[in-house]
Amino acid sequence: MTLEQLRSRVDELDRQLVALLNERAQTAKQIGQIKAASSMQVYVPGREKLVHENLRAANTGPLPDAELFHIYERILDVMRALQRNELASQKNAQAARDAQQGQPADARSSETGK
């Protein structure tokens, strides 16, 4: 393949990567919503370990595991930031609803515990 053909292949791969990264981001946001509803933390150490094991098992090269993890460190940072935003916006939305109903935000847990 010529340099032009290889670059055009890279561009096509990048478009596919962008679509997958966005789908992963969308899924991470949905997970964030579930975590918010059940008061879970964004960072779950056991889950991170499973993500890495999945990556290692899927990696057939030529990227060495270390380089793949180096890329994923950044991907996971971005996904966690998205989840934190999701949790914060859910909390704000709930606080706004509570304020409209004239009840303090901290009365909610006992209220829903009925």
Binding footprint of its own copies on the chain (CB under 8 A) = 1-3, 6-7, 9-11, 13-31, 34, 47, 50-51, 54-55, 58-63, 67-68, 70-71, 73-75, 78, 81-82
Least Å from the CB of residue 107 to its own copies: 27
Alpha carbon dihedral 41, 43, 44, 48, in 10-degree steps, equals: 160
d(CA 63, CA 61): 4
d(CA 64, CA 70): 10
* Residue type, position 88, single letter: A
Least Å from the CB of residue 56 to its own copies: 9
Least Å from the CB of residue 53 to its own copies: 10
